[in-house]
Structure 1
Amino acid sequence: MLCPHRHPRSSPHSEVDVSGSSAPSALRRGRTAMVSALAVTAAAVGLWTGLGGSSAAASGVPTPDHVVVVVMENHAYSQVIGSSSAPYINSLRTGGATLTQSYAQTHPSQPNYYALFSGSTQGVTDDSCVTPGFSSAANLASELTAAGRTWASYNESLPSQGSTTCGSGKYAQKHNPWFGFSNVSTSSAKTFAQFPTDYATLPDVSFVVPNLCNDMHDCSVSTGDTWIKSNLGAYATWAATHNSLLVITFDEDNRLSGNRIPTVLYGQPVAAGSSSSTTYNHYSLLRTLEDMKGLTTHAGNAASASDITGIWAS
């Protein structure tokens, strides 16, 4: 709750021109009124933002209340964007924004997840199961937590909240980089069954990782597209009127076309039908998420990356 500013009563004998020189009484009263009006306006803007109104961060990116990032697998831009196999993702593209030159960092999958989450591959070069907590490097979750913000991941087919198992059925730890960091609580890794139905209770930033079938790794583009619609479609609809954001991106293109991947953004902060042809990568998305939440630090290569711009609603 914001408290109104209290201004001391001023005496006509104590009024002073802001430059330090004396001024006619009427002019002084006019300036006092203008300053008061500006203060009221500033307080109103602050209150609007605090109640969920949209405002722009100093970096030029919006400040959504909630951001959900879903990471899909192993498909190139041309395999998804404009494809009849992905009608739902393309409907979000039409109502939201597309990054037409979005790129992954490397191959295979796992290093890209570390890049997106921490601004570095952390020396990971393959898909082997990592030792839990092997790194203490800064990452999105540790930065959010240090700033008093909230974070969680929702991992489909994870056996139980916080489980560090390498694999179980269609679940694979290689797609869940948060387990590699000692400064990220394992309890912040939830099962997808724990994804809230009351979206207002979502963390400031959360990642959603479908299992090996529904992320398009083992199953079709159509399967993944249907999963997103069935499981995140209601959130996308809600985000469009609640100053929130859904980001759909991919880990890599499976070595098909220069590692150019689909990245679609949808929600109230996005200008409908917009696109950007600026070259972005996983570090750009990480930097944008950090700046959206007003973080003063940037993990790894996000520090030198550019924010995503040109697609935001005014």
Structure 2
Amino acid sequence: MHSLHRFLCLVFATCSLAACGGTEGGSTSPASQPTTAVTKLLVVVVENHSLAEMRREMPYTFRLARRYGYATHYRAITHPSLPNYLAIAGGSTFGVTDDSSPASHPVHGRSVFGQARALGRTAGVYADGMPGRCAREPGGGRYAVKHNPWAYFVDERRACLRHDGSMAGFAADAAGGDLPNAGMVVPNLCHDAHDSDCTLADADRWLRSTLRPVLRGPDFRSGRLAVVVTADEDDSSQGNRVLTAVLHPSQHAHVVRARLDHTSLTRLYDEVLRAPLLRGARRAPDLAAAFDLPVGPS
């Protein structure tokens, strides 16, 4: 009975760590029972804060990290923001070293979102505060285009204009099991704790309200959706080491000490999509293997 209870806890994510027979924050392995293969990935990115800061000042987010899983040696690629977002979405910084708009940095070739569309799967970016679809300039409700990587991929502009929108339909998509196969949530400059008048506590509260329908929704509860919460870069205080939480019913207080980086996320997108590995993802440390996520071969 104990084994059955623990399995049900892990699949439906309805119990505390103690009730499921685990220890909070320890180095443990995820459940070994079979789970539904991951066919959807949702990545949420906050801004400019280190692993230590996020642990200390984002209690809800770190509680999720401890409940499911997180990496202790995950590093961003560089500074400033934009090249890190491009690395996540495209497996490369494309030589970009600043935060200029798509007019200054048109990127050619596929993104993970374009890969999804080419394979007949779904893709979507939910950009908080964005004034119009696939907006290529900052504005609106503290929207920053430098945090919306799909807007830079000029060969995918038509798909971006259709599938890169605001947060308006996000909660409904989460509740209805309609989240995309390749998804990203882009908070605005307050909700990602970037602006000086907003704190990590503000970001933590926003993440709580944003992730609630996701974790209660059928995509997550079935096991077909994995959620990754990370930061684009640190505040230059911790060698670009950022908190990266991996939320999935297969994870149970799973602390991963392997070295990972943003191209590991590109690789994870591709493995979830069963797509060829893009650019630097071919050499990237394997996040799916490190967390023993149930994804198929790329």
Q: With the length of structure 1 as denominator, give the TM-score of the two structures.
A: 0.75
Seen in structure 2, the aligned counterparts of structure 1 residues 226 and 263 have a Cα distance that, compared at 3 Å, is same
Aligned to 1:261: 242
Match of 2:62 among 59, 72, 90: 90
Match of 2:162 among 187, 196, 202: 187
Question: Which amino acid in 1 is paired with 2:243?
Answer: P
Tell me, yes or no, if structure 1 residue 228 matches structure 2 residue 203.
Answer: no
Residue pair 1:132, 1:179 contacting (<8 A) in 2 also:
no
Question: After the TM superposition, which residues 1-314 of structure 1 pair with which residues of structure 2 at under 5 Å, given as runs?
Answer: 54-55=35-36, 63-81=37-55, 83=56, 85-131=57-103, 134-184=106-156, 185=159, 186-199=161-174, 200-218=177-195, 219-238=198-217, 240-243=220-223, 244-268=225-249, 270-295=250-275, 297-308=276-287, 309-312=289-292
Distance in 1 separating the partners of 2:292 and 2:68:
9
Distance in 1 separating the partners of 2:140 and 2:38:
34
Distance in 2 separating the partners of 1:169 and 1:127:
19
Question: Which amino acid in 1 is paired with 2:108?
Answer: S
Residue pair 2:38, 2:293 contacting (<8 A) in 1 also:
no
Seen in structure 2, the aligned counterparts of structure 1 residues 272 and 313 have a Cα distance that, compared at 3 Å, is farther
Distance in 2 separating the partners of 1:137 and 1:272:
37
**Which structure exhibits the higher relative contact order, with contacts defined as CA atoms closer than 8 Å and separated by 6 or more residues?**
2
Distance in 2 separating the partners of 1:240 and 1:172:
28
Shift of 1:237: 3.2
Distance in 2 separating the partners of 1:75 and 1:216:
8
Shift of 1:133: 8.0
Distance in 2 separating the partners of 1:144 and 1:211:
25
1:162-181 C-alpha deviation (Å, 9 max, x unpaired): 33233334111111111111
Q: Secondary structure at the match of 1:228?
A: helix
Shifted more, 137-146 versus 191-200: the winner is 191-200
Shift of 1:311: 2.5
Structure 1, unaligned stretches of length 5 or more?
Answer: 1-52, 56-62
Aligned-pair identity (%): 31
Distance in 2 separating the partners of 1:311 and 1:278:
9
Question: Which amino acid in 2 is paired with 1:158?
Answer: M
Q: Secondary structure at the match of 1:226?
A: helix
Shifted more, 156-165 versus 95-104: the winner is 156-165
Distance in 2 separating the partners of 1:109 and 1:65:
28
Residue pair 2:125, 2:185 contacting (<8 A) in 1 also:
yes
Residue pair 1:236, 1:245 contacting (<8 A) in 2 also:
no
Seen in structure 2, the aligned counterparts of structure 1 residues 310 and 162 have a Cα distance that, compared at 3 Å, is closer
Residue pair 1:74, 1:252 contacting (<8 A) in 2 also:
yes
1:102-161 C-alpha deviation (Å, 9 max, x unpaired): 000000111111111101111211112221882222221121111111100000000022
Distance in 2 separating the partners of 1:92 and 1:67:
17
Shift of 1:215: 0.4
Q: Secondary structure at the match of 1:193?
A: coil
Q: With the length of structure 2 as denominator, give the TM-score of the two structures.
A: 0.79
Q: Secondary structure at the match of 1:67?
A: strand
Shift of 1:190: 0.7
Q: Secondary structure at the match of 1:100?
A: strand
Distance in 1 separating the partners of 2:279 and 2:168:
32
Q: Secondary structure at the match of 2:42?
A: strand
Q: Which has the larger radius of gyration?
A: 1
> What root-mean-square deviation, in Å, do the aligned CA atoms of Structure 1 and Structure 2 show?
1.9
1:236-282 C-alpha deviation (Å, 9 max, x unpaired): 233552212211011000211100011001122x3210011000000
Distance in 1 separating the partners of 2:232 and 2:65:
18
